[in-house]
Amino acid sequence: MTFRITESVEKCRVTHGPYKSEPGLPMGMFNLSVRTSNLICIAYCGAMDGWEHVSVSVQGKNRTPTWGEMCAVKGEFWPDEDAVVQYHPSKEDYVNMHPFCLHLFRPVDGVFPKPNSLTVGVK
């Protein structure tokens, strides 16, 4: 398992109020500053359900996180060599609890098929 709460993320952990969590846990809410945005991240290392997960929204803004913001969050919770996905479920499984929230997922075992990078473009 390579999901991690880095030291820089741990400093951003919410430790008071209804969304508080204890330092050192592999889950919790974090207020990360990325570029000029404050991001709310809810992270979960899902040993029970088989998925690592981070939800990301922009605090005080009515917009979804940008690609750059999502890349920064990915880099905080997973090493560069790990691939994670933004998962789009089937319509019957769709849940929308926040209109401007995006999610990053990775299977705990790290195994899922990856398309060839040429399907996106030439490096």
1: pLDDT strictly greater than 60: no
Average pLDDT for residues 16-26, to the nearest whole number?
A: 92
Rounded to an integer, what distance in angstroms lies between the CA atom of residue 31 and that of residue 42?
A: 9
Over the stretch 32-83, which tens digit does the pLDDT of each residue have?
999 889 999 999 987 668 889 999 999 988 999 999 999 999 999 999 989 9
7-119 CATH, one of 3.40.1720, 3.40.630, 1.20.1050, 3.40.1350 = 3.40.1720
Q: In angstroms, rounded to a whole number, what is the distance separating the alpha carbons of residues 34 and 45?
A: 22
Both tokens of 62, joined, read 């009515």
Task: Name which residue leads in pLDDT, 110 or 73.
Answer: 73
| Confidence band, pLDDT 50/70/90 cuts, at residue 101 | very high
Residue boundaries of the structural domains of the chain? 7-119
Rounded (5°) CA angle 15-16-20: 60
The answer to whether residue 91 scores a pLDDT higher than 60 is yes
